[in-house]
Structure 1
Amino acid sequence: MECAAKGNGRRCSGTANRRCDSCGAVSYCSVSHQVCEKVETRCSLLDKLGIHHVGMWIHECSCGDASALLDHLRSDKGWSLSSRLCPCTGPLSILKKQLNSWSDYCEWRGIPLDSPVALLLHWPLTIYQAIQLAFSKDLIPATTDELCIHYLGPERELYQLSVFGELRALFPEVQVHIDFVGPEIPHDRDGETINLCSYPHCIEASCCCKSGKGEFTSRTTSEISSAITIRLHSGYYHDRYVELTKEFLPDIIIAPNAGIAAYKSWLATIELIREIEIPAIFSDYCEEACHLAANCVSSVTGSPSTITVQLNPFRQPLAVEDTVLLLPCYSNCFLFGI
């Protein structure tokens, strides 16, 4: 049996005859390799790919520039990757079957499975998965030409808005309108409308994604017919709901990485969702957090979850670093719904 730490950059000192006391399944050549430090970090991975502290990737590691201005970042439409590694244009074929894994998605979009784009695309793909779950439970119509989503508590997504353009490929011929609502949205951006008219660009100057047929634009009032429209609203959902629904009601409510059990501010929102009877799907970083959230929601609504806690196949594939929980945590890791 080979040493489990082989290939970490340090030469093995002998045969792998030190077996792990906990699992008994792996062996090491020495004590130093048995306690070797983690080799790959988010920073080192992003640095190796040339996207550390670049554009949309700036908040994907703990050393990201928290003071970076949204106005600066929203003008960066690109993946900062080659066309081989990113979906910078529309799909070659219409999606004919439901996607069930990152492998399915990458095969359909013609990108390698080891592409880093899943680190950002888990946001729109989690929306896709939530809607598929709602379809399966007949909570929303399976066919529609217009979809209205109320998206609660965005934070990092505000720096990565252009990745939601992938919803154009996931829901072809559907006008998708998303209302982002949350206290992390700056007051000076309240009411702003973002029209996603193209996919994020690759870095290749000759690629057809630079054709200029579509632009990622931002306006205070919508003047452009777009497949994907995002509107920003600062504040808590229960405070903004009446204003939000003057134009039309949402088809579904989605709250990623909600942390319902950790924040009392969710109580009024859950009570509102119970009253309006709109299907809502929540995600969290680990299974335990999702079960706690589901129990909190059930205690308010008086009913069990319509969609039970389950693993999200489109969770972010890199574990969260420096989490306060002593559990493996991934962004959008588990889902449940009411």
Structure 2
Amino acid sequence: MECAAKGSGRQCGGAATRLCTRCEAVAYCSLSHQIAHLSRHKYECDRFQQQMKSVEVLNDFPFTFSREATFQVCVKQETRCSFFSKRGLHHVGMWMHECGCGELSASFDYLGLNYGWDLLSVLCPCRGPKSLLSEQLHDWRDYYKWRCIPLDSPVALLLQWPLTIYHAAHLVGITALKPEMSDGLYIHYLGPEKELLQLAVFGELLALFPGVRIHIELVGPSIPPQRDGEKIHISKYPCCNEDKCECKIASKNTFLGTQSGKTSALTLQLWQGFYHDRYRDIVKNSFPHLVIAPNGGIAAYSSWSPSIDLIEKIDVPAVFTDYCEEACHLAANCIKTVSGRPLKLPVQLNPFRQPMAVEDSVLLLPCYSNCFLFGI
């Protein structure tokens, strides 16, 4: 962990092992650096102290591996690499970039379309659900029960992407039963990075929104320029690793229709660049029902300001997520500065956050991918 006073004009003299005794969320390399940083830290210390009280709630998952993936990762008894190695998933397919070993940017030329789960069929949703959703899913336990997946399966680590979209849509009143969904569900998805290497998991949206034709516009600077404008049609679930499973037969791996006979379909389109620069091109054929920006980092990037201004003007529900509550707090302040208005959807815990703690975060605050969400 870095010294909280790093970059303030003083050279750090060693490892940051000296914790703030009040919040226990920041550390320093020396007493002198802690004293020098006090004038800044005093404005955030109480807030950090409150956020640190949420550790047990954030670590509360129903999985058999929950302690291994949360507490043990945080205290360095376990690592992401060791977690995946034990399950034969280290540097494999869609799991390849879930640890810090791989170089992410060099891989974006090859998007994650043809990967499978690399798991036994009993451990993954490689086929359609046994039944249509009869009620809203509220958390991972609900989802695993509906999909008949045992709680020792790690698929939630990748399914965080489509389930976060599903949850965000419900929060703003979008469901498969809405009349306006008859022509399709249009989603503008801002700032994709690692999920570009895991695109196959987005197919689960067709089980979550049965009978709905879903169009997702993926917009961001991480999309390779040579893939700009490319359309991707996903027509089956990621397969398991069993040669004789019915998921290998395309006709049995097509998506579930509805009682009305409508069949789901999923189209992804790639747009290289910032949302405010590409919006006019995108909106010609795709005015959004929902804008979503997973792990947005709004406070960290000034490029968000014109995009937020644009979202305010088009008056479409927009949901953002981030790794920790503090990042959302800072983002809310940025949004208020740009729009002059408070959040419409207050900062809240995402029940479909990734169930594995982020390693080596700048703060000791509990961090998870898609951990908290908020909206405008």
TM-score higher than 0.5: yes
- Offset of residue 286 of structure 1: 0.6
Match of 1:172 among 210, 229, 233: 210
Match of 2:135 among 97, 118, 122: 97
- Offset of residue 291 of structure 1: 1.5
Q: Equivalent residue for 2:8?
A: none
- The yes-or-no answer on 1:303 pairing with 2:341 is yes
- Offset of residue 279 of structure 1: 1.0
* Distance verdict in 2 for CA 1:226–1:169, change over 3 Å: closer
Cα offsets for 1:204-250 (capped at 9, x unmatched):
0111100123899xxxxxxxx96111000000000000010111311
Q: Equivalent residue for 1:188?
A: 226
- The yes-or-no answer on 1:131 pairing with 2:169 is yes
Match of 1:61 among 85, 91, 99: 99
Q: Equivalent residue for 1:32?
A: none
Matches within 5 A, 1:72-151: 72=110, 74-135=112-173, 141=178, 144-145=181-182, 146-151=184-189
- RMSD across aligned positions (CA): 2.3
Matches within 5 A, 1:222-241: 227-241=265-279
SS, match of residue 149 in structure 1: strand
SS, match of residue 172 in structure 2: helix
Measure the CA separation in 1 of the matches of 2:343 and 2:193: 26
- Which amino acid is the alignment partner of residue 343 of structure 2? S
* Distance verdict in 2 for CA 1:87–1:127, change over 3 Å: same
Cα offsets for 1:36-70 (capped at 9, x unmatched):
96322111110011010001111000012436544
Cα offsets for 1:142-192 (capped at 9, x unmatched):
762310000000000110000000001100000010000000101011011
* Distance verdict in 2 for CA 1:280–1:141, change over 3 Å: farther
- Offset of residue 114 of structure 1: 2.3
Measure the CA separation in 2 of the matches of 1:62 and 1:234: 25
Measure the CA separation in 1 of the matches of 2:306 and 2:118: 41
SS, match of residue 303 in structure 1: coil
Q: Equivalent residue for 1:3?
A: none
Q: Equivalent residue for 1:263?
A: 301
> Is the CA contact (8 Å cut-off) linking 2:128 and 2:253 kept in structure 1?
no
- Which amino acid is the alignment partner of residue 42 of structure 1? R
Measure the CA separation in 1 of the matches of 2:362 and 2:147: 36
* Distance verdict in 2 for CA 1:72–1:103, change over 3 Å: same
- Which amino acid is the alignment partner of residue 174 of structure 1? V
Q: Equivalent residue for 2:198?
A: 160
Comparing 233-242 with 204-213, greater Cα deviation is found at 204-213
Measure the CA separation in 1 of the matches of 2:363 and 2:224: 29
Question: Which has the bigger relative contact order, CA under 8 A and spacing at least 6?
Answer: 2
- Offset of residue 73 of structure 1: 5.2
Q: Equivalent residue for 2:246?
A: 208
Comparing 175-184 with 226-235, greater Cα deviation is found at 226-235
Measure the CA separation in 1 of the matches of 2:139 and 2:113: 31
Measure the CA separation in 2 of the matches of 1:47 and 1:284: 27
> Is the CA contact (8 Å cut-off) linking 2:276 and 2:306 kept in structure 1?
yes
- Which amino acid is the alignment partner of residue 129 of structure 1? H
> Is the CA contact (8 Å cut-off) linking 1:58 and 1:65 kept in structure 2?
no
More helix by share: 2
When the two structures are superposed, what TM-score results if normalisation uses the length of structure 2? 0.74
> Is the CA contact (8 Å cut-off) linking 2:292 and 2:318 kept in structure 1?
yes
Cα offsets for 1:67-114 (capped at 9, x unmatched):
654455535330000011100001001011111110000000000122
SS, match of residue 119 in structure 2: coil
Listed as ranges, the gaps of 5+ residues in structure 1 are 1-21, 24-35, 217-224
Aligned length: 295
Measure the CA separation in 2 of the matches of 1:116 and 1:150: 27
> Is the CA contact (8 Å cut-off) linking 2:206 and 2:264 kept in structure 1?
no
Measure the CA separation in 1 of the matches of 2:193 and 2:240: 24
Q: Equivalent residue for 2:43?
A: none
SS, match of residue 85 in structure 2: helix
SS, match of residue 81 in structure 1: coil
When the two structures are superposed, what TM-score results if normalisation uses the length of structure 1? 0.82
Measure the CA separation in 1 of the matches of 2:354 and 2:137: 16
Measure the CA separation in 1 of the matches of 2:196 and 2:233: 14
Q: Equivalent residue for 1:314?
A: 352
Listed as ranges, the gaps of 5+ residues in structure 2 are 1-23, 25-51, 53-73, 255-262
* Distance verdict in 2 for CA 1:337–1:66, change over 3 Å: closer
- Which amino acid is the alignment partner of residue 79 of structure 1? W
- The yes-or-no answer on 1:242 pairing with 2:276 is no
> Is the CA contact (8 Å cut-off) linking 1:319 and 1:328 kept in structure 2?
yes
Match of 1:46 among 68, 80, 84: 84
> Is the CA contact (8 Å cut-off) linking 1:280 and 1:337 kept in structure 2?
yes
